[in-house]
Structure 1
Amino acid sequence: MSESRGRRRDGDAEHPAVTLSNGYRAVIEADRHQPGAFTLVVDGTPQSHVSLDDPSYLSFEYVRRIGHGIDLIAPEGEAITAVHLGGGAFTLPRYIAATRPGSRQQVIELESDLVDFVREHLALPKEAQIRIRHGDARAVLAKLPLGLKSTVDVVVVDVFSGARTPAHVTSMEFYPLAAGLLKPTGIIAANVADGAGLAFARSQAATLSAVFAKVALVVDPQVLKSRRFGNVVMFASDDRLPFERLPRLVASDPVPAKVVDGAELKAFIAGAPVVTDQTAVPSPPPARSIFQVKPGAPRA
């Protein structure tokens, strides 16, 4: 494959790497503990874990939680329509293709160079119906075909620039664009990263609650208590969330989590401001030490 838009290779056969047009370095690392599995690291941040041998395996904690939500939105094995904002190594599109054959999926990814790099080294399944659209998530979202309106089962919002979510995909003006794609029973699944105090996560929960009738969070209790930086998965819908089994599923994960909704969600928001385009800020940066992994050590 030819180089594109200044994409510069700087890795080796064992650790393929490129410097992307935005200046970030992307590396694909083999998982030493799971043959056939790989981690995509961008700007020092592990962004995706992919098992080519078993795409139904989800390694990262927050991705497993989103996967549980996707499992519950339709009967097992039934094809769905999904839109993914943020591509990475296409972990969830591969998961949906494996667990729900025949699903139609669209992935919006800003970094075309990253898409080329991943597809070269971690090829997508040939039978998967995954269309990739290049560009800014919010801009492309507003221009998707009218035929997608009100037809989508799940929109996954997992947009990162390095280790931070850009401000313009966190606001009251952004979320209705995603909501317009959803069928009446469709859901939003958003990955929110935050640290001490969870001010960013609280404001995102407030914003989703201002747009959607139903909102629920899935979070590690230690993160909920603001004891460490982590991910808060947020689900939202204008219909009921079909998550009766979700508390048991997330509680039995290798890293247990809990579901926060109803009165507990209201207490979590506790007057946090709704985010607008005028007030939006990027998600807080994690300490670099959070992602420092000793050679050979397993990743979450």
Structure 2
Amino acid sequence: MDTSPTTVPGATKDSVQPATVIEPVQRRALPNGLASTLVFLASGAVLVLETVSLRLVGPYLGVTLQVTSSVIGVALGAIAYGAWLGGWLADRRDPRTLLAPALVLAGITTAITLPVVRYAGEVLRGGATAGILLLTALAVFLPAALLAAVTPLVVKLQLSDLNRTGQVVGRLSSIGTLGGITATLGTGFVLVAALPSTVIMVGLALLLGLTGLWLGYYLWRQERTSVPGRPGVKAAVALLGLVAAGLATVAPNPCDVETAYHCARVEVDAENPDGRLLVLNSAWHSYVDLADPTHLEFEYTQWIGAVADVAAPAGQRLDAVHLGGGGFTIPTYLSATRPGTVNTVFEIDGELVELGRRELGVKPGPELRPVVGDARMLVGDLPDDSADLVVGDAFGHLVVPWHLATREMAADIRRVVRPGGLYVQNVIDYPPLRFIRAELATVRAEFGHLALVAPPAAISGAQGANFLIVAADTPLPLEALRQRLGENEGSVTVLDGAALDQFIDDALVLTDEFAPVDQLLATA
């Protein structure tokens, strides 16, 4: 068998050259400081997006456990898919050509988030599960996924020495986590308290976009290579950025004032020039008549006013504690109908108190004492037997904060209410009425006497509505209350005794250990 090497015809033995081996181009790793900064920035930006997104969707969906869970879940999904995509691309393309575009596109999509959420939010108002998931996805997913792709791209560039793989991955992972922690604390404690959501989002978009542009120029200077792409594509991206910036400036803003807890606006009643409607996170919260402090527009405020009217002889002053201020409708009513009444109002949102002073006629003084803070903590500081009337009217959107709905909270309120005093609590619920039943069972576990005020259709489970719980340690003035409410006219029912026990049935007593308020409120 001929085993001589094969030669190209016409070539001599001496002319045969060994095959040329092309060594892969070894690109320099990014400077450690730059790599760390990029990972820190990208990871932190995701958490800024997540935190601010809750405020963006709140005016349309409310701020409930389901909305919060949706934002967190969508953000985590975006991080997972973005990291996977970034790693996949890093193995197929030079990461240096991808880093700058990822940051620029993240900036553009962050800017687009504002108009997209605000236009889509008007269509998706309400609390339907599909609407919650869709709007939170529009608010978070795309920019968070692009930012999550940055870390694997940077990691790929830093792995020039396989003997240091663990060190590089561990260091950058740690820096990314620190970026997320810093952004979460900084946004929650500083940015949200100091700046509107629009300013935060536009500022973040500019930071990401400018960082991406600078990084592209830096890498080009380092290696004299430009990010590949046709001029038309680059022009389209630039145009998209300009359109996003323009839409962000003209997108409808549902807030007159953006507080640390609410998107708030005050509307003038078209039928009453002195009427003011306070809207918090898209929900009608309070109505104030600037010319007539005794005017109670909403039915539930009329019920509370009726309870206060029969709580003591007409005109007698009271020591009243209010859990939640809002538009200060009831404190103002008590001051007008019972001169000398001292209204201590616990309101967690200090900016809402200031809004009330500016636009709702709230005038703090000896008879009206707003105290900014969490009602659960502040009630605990009150002396025993110090209030004739406690009014529970605190809400996060349409939901009573869970820690204000437990037996432990009811026990603290009972400690504060004087013998013969009353506790009234406003609750919103919808069929199948699981929350109002549970809250009634909870209050009944601490107070000896209980009644429920609500529309007949709501009690029968035909509709959602406000419900008013009335509780005391002494017999309630039910006959006087029925007459004051005009129960015989059929617009409202006062339920007590065996009928109330049957309504409550075997409902869950809520405790600090277990109070699934949001789940109980979910409609069937």
How far did 1:254 drift?
9.1
Which one of 253, 267, 282 corresponds to residue 44 of structure 1? 282
Residues 1:125 and 1:257: Cα distance change in structure 2 (over 3 Å): same
Alignment match of 1:20 (pick from 253, 259, 264): 259
Measured in 2, the distance between the counterparts of 1:213 and 1:98 equals: 31
Give the 3 Å change call, closer, same or farther, for CA 43–274 of structure 1 in structure 2.
same
The residue number in structure 1 matching 2:507 is 272
Aligned to 2:149: none
Residue 6 of structure 1 is matched in structure 2 by: 194
* Local SS of the residue matching 1:211: coil
- Match for 1:67: what amino acid? G
- 1:54-73 to structure 2, matched below 5 A, reads 54-73=292-311
Q: Distance in 1 between matches of 2:478 and 2:279?
A: 32
Partner secondary structure for residue 180 of structure 1: helix
Kindly provide the amino acid, as one letter, of the partner of residue 124 in structure 1.
V
Which residue of structure 1 lines up, in the alignment, with residue 135 of structure 2? Answer: none
Deviations 1:41-87 (A, max 9, x none): 00000110011111111011111111100000111111111000000
Question: 1:153·1:186 contact (CA, 8 Å) conserved in 2?
Answer: yes
* CA contact 1:94–1:125 (8 Å) conserved in 2: no
Asked whether the 8 Å contact 1:166–1:281 carries over to 2, the reply is: no
What is the aligned counterpart of 2:410 among 172, 175, 183? Answer: 175
Q: Deviations over 1:161-208 (max 9, x none)?
A: 122111111111111111111110011000111100111111111111
CA distance in 2, matches of 1:224, 1:247: 16
CA distance in 2, matches of 1:234, 1:218: 7
Given that 2:487 and 2:494 are in contact with CA atoms closer than 8 Å, whether structure 1 keeps it comes out as no
Q: Does the CA-based 8 Å contact 2:269-2:276 persist in structure 1?
A: yes
Corresponding residue number in structure 2 for 1:83: 321
**TM-score relative to the length of structure 2:** 0.50
Inter-CA distance 286–25: structure 2 relative to 1 (3 Å threshold): farther
Match runs of 1:1-300 below 5 Å: 5-6=193-194, 8=196, 17-22=256-261, 24-125=262-363, 129-144=367-382, 146=383, 149-251=384-486, 256-283=491-518
Query: SS of the counterpart of 1:173?
Result: helix
Higher relative contact order (CA closer than 8 Å, sequence separation 6+): 1
TM normalised by structure 1 equals: 0.86
Distance of 1:255 and 1:112 partners within structure 2: 40
Aligned partners of 2:197 and 2:363: how far apart in 1? Answer: 24
Question: What stretches of structure 2 of length at least 5 have no aligned partner?
Answer: 1-191, 199-253
Identity of aligned residues (%): 34
Task: Judge conservation of contact 1:171–1:280 (CA < 8 Å) in 2.
Answer: yes
CA distance in 2: counterparts of 1:282 and 1:136, whole angstroms: 18
**Within 2, Cα distance between the matches of 1:48 and 1:230?**
15
Letter paired with 1:6: A
Shift of 1:286: 8.2
Shift of 1:35: 2.6
Higher percent of residues as strand: 1
Larger Rg: 2
Distance 1:255 1:46 in 2: 25
CA displacement at 1:248 relative to structure 2? 2.7
One-letter amino acid of the counterpart of residue 230, structure 1? A
Query: Which stretches in structure 1 are left out of the alignment for 5+ residues?
Result: 288-300
Aligned 8 A contact 1:19 1:25 in 2: yes
Aligned-pair Cα RMSD in Å: 2.3
